[in-house]
Amino acid sequence: MKYILSLLLMSVTCFSTLAAKSVPFERDWHTFSNYQTVVSTHVHLDVKVDFNSKQIAGFIEHQLKALKSDVNQLVVDTRDLDIHKAEILHGETWVSTDFKLGDKDKVRGSKLTIAIKPNTQKVRIYYNSRPEASGLQWLTPVQTAGKKHPFMFSQSQAIHARSWMPIQDTPGMRVTYSAKVKTDKSLRPIMSATNDPKWDDKGEYHFEMPQPIPTYLIAIAAGNIHYKKMSKQTAIYAEPELLEASAKEFEDTQAMIDASEKLYGKYRWTDYDLLILPPSFPFGGMENPRLSFITPTVIAGDKSLVSLIAHELAHSWSGNLVTNATWRDLWLNEGFTSYVENRIMEEVFGKRRAIMEQALAAQGLDAELVDLPRGDTILHVEIEGRDPDDAFSGVPYTKGQLFLMFLESKFGRKNFDVFLRNYFDTHAFQSIDTKNFLIYIEKNLVNKHPGKVSMEQIVTWIKEPMLPSNAPKPRSDAFANVQKNMNAWLANDLAIKQMPSKEWTVHEWLYFINNLPENITLAQLAELDKQYNLTQSSNNEIAHAWLLLSINKGNKAVYERLEDYLISIGRRKLIVPLYRALIETNGNDQFAKRVYKIARPGYHPLAQGTIDNLFNKSAN
């Protein structure tokens, strides 16, 4: 009975797919793998995390499913891996098989081809990563909060999983995974999988990820990592020095899950834990399923920067559940996530704050659009031949978010919420590309509510550069009030002490700093600093905005703090604009080079690459 029912369900699914007329995905240029011929459905890692040699070493086992007949090779992606041997399972025994490692391509790494038989079910590849693996960062004890133990973490998105395991590395397919990981007894490994809160001292750990995920979500970290439960579904993993402050700062995470479930349906990943990383983590957060990796730079003491958590949590629907099929489609992950993030913020912290965050993001995008190459202002961006990390600008995030806000305003929140929830349900645990999204939205939104928005308008949003003229322009009353006070101060109608800044939130401060006029004088900056001590702000976003403004205005009074800031933080969003401004403004070359020389060893390889490029470009 059960069997028949599932067959029936299957035929219904097939029929609905046909009815939606979905088309085959565009091939992912960023993988060498033959995932459209034979696909890995489950991977098992049996590895040792070796802090002495800065290597992950052992084997990976691929469980295969042939999609075509007479398959005689498996092709996987690698980058800077040493491959020792390959084996296939023949009956009950593992027998060695031929393999060939191709030349290194600058963007994609090296293709690894393994001879298999048409009926081969399992392949093992013995390998080790190298210390320079682009997807791993090995921190010395000094680079951690506790200063006593080393720390290691992975960052697999976009195409860095291949630098620590040989794998079919594309978001166009999914795997479940399991792992056996050995480490030093004093260090604990954790993964984007089931983690046992208990820390035993055997030095061997087991992990299981039963839900199929794209390979860029396979994640590992190891260090002096402790655990604190926050609520029924949430917990913090962090060095003990960061544990209490993190648990306090992020105590609303459960409320965020509850709000998201109300809007978009069940959270499908059981628990949602946060791993707080050392400050050199190059991103704000990484949405590794069940265990988001989070920068400590958002621990502000007042929850002012927790939209980052809403963002990573939102990925549990957009990105992790419904995944961009290629990196050209990144906007389907990040635009949807930025929109959902803002909806969660509205539910948990109210409309006033949500609108302020929209307005700040939109202003940031406007500034970015001026400098970006025109082609890179397109949502469905062309990135063949380029590193997909280059596609991470405000465009997929904020332009994507504004597109969804535009749809919401035209179709009405109620209709749009229904559409979005169905979109997540229909594509759960699947990938989707832009072409198929267009087919889906035409059928399920545009044609369902005729006369609201045309497909031409939608295609313009997705395929044309810059922002269309119908783009929403978020307006915050709170910011209008800040602007009024700023104008009065600048016109000498209001003494600096009379500004109602005591009631200002971090967002209002950010608006204030970002919107000071071009002709602001050094004397006025000094007056502001004297009154509000902005240079020494412990809020990393405020400090960033103030330091950036100061570089552009030649306010040398901040340079000591600037040096400390650049050396102590590795988050790209916060440091890269500061280096860029230093390089582009006159007379800062020597300072920038000197500080970078000190700071560089503490940065992640990704941040190093970005900043090296800035210096190289300016030298040419």
> So which residues are the catalytic ones?
312, 397
* Contacts (Cβ under 8 Å, ≥6 apart) of 290: 192, 193, 194, 195, 209, 269, 270, 271, 272, 273
Q: CA 333 to CA 317: how far, in whole Å? A: 9
Would you say 207 or 423 has its CB closer to Zn ion? 423
Q: CA 360 to CA 135: how far, in whole Å? A: 31
Would you say 327 or 512 has its CB closer to Zn ion? 327
Minimum distance of Zn ion from residue 377's CB (angstroms): 19
Would you say 326 or 550 has its CB closer to Zn ion? 326
Peptide bond between residue 391 and the one before it cis (omega within 30 degrees of 0):
no
* Contacts (Cβ under 8 Å, ≥6 apart) of 214: 170, 171, 172, 173, 174, 323, 431
Using CB under 5 A as the binding rule, the residues of this chain from 128 to 187 that contact Zn ion are none
Would you say 331 or 509 has its CB closer to Zn ion? 331
Which residue, chain included where needed, has tokens 């002490």? 497
Minimum distance of Zn ion from residue 238's CB (angstroms): 21
Would you say 178 or 333 has its CB closer to Zn ion? 333
Minimum distance of Zn ion from residue 73's CB (angstroms): 35
Minimum distance of Zn ion from residue 166's CB (angstroms): 26
Minimum distance of Zn ion from residue 133's CB (angstroms): 23
* Contacts (Cβ under 8 Å, ≥6 apart) of 454: 446
> Which of 79, 155, 171, 150 has its CA nearest to residue 606?
155
Token duo for residue 366: 């406007």
Could you give the angle at which helices 434-441 and 413-426 cross, rounded to 10 degrees?
A: 130
Using CB under 5 A as the binding rule, the residues of this chain from 401 to 440 that contact Zn ion are none
Instruction: Compute the C-alpha angle 328/332/334, nearest 5°.
Output: 100
Minimum distance of Zn ion from residue 76's CB (angstroms): 26
Using CB under 5 A as the binding rule, the residues of this chain from 307 to 346 that contact Zn ion are 334, 337
Amino acid at 346: E
Minimum distance of Zn ion from residue 398's CB (angstroms): 12
Minimum distance of Zn ion from residue 175's CB (angstroms): 21
Token duo for residue 151: 């720390």
Q: Edge-to-edge strands of the sheet including 272-276? A: 226-229, 234-238, 272-276, 291-294, 285-286
Question: Is there a contact between 219 and 192 (Cβ–Cβ < 8 Å)?
Answer: yes
Q: CA 163 to CA 167: how far, in whole Å? A: 9
Would you say 189 or 285 has its CB closer to Zn ion? 285
> Which of 223, 233, 215 has its CA nearest to residue 166?
215
* Contacts (Cβ under 8 Å, ≥6 apart) of 37: 66, 67, 68, 71
Which residue, chain included where needed, has tokens 């031929």? 98
Question: Is there a contact between 153 and 296 (Cβ–Cβ < 8 Å)?
Answer: no
Q: CA 302 to CA 175: how far, in whole Å? A: 39
Binding residues for Zn ion, rule: CB under 5 A, are 334, 337
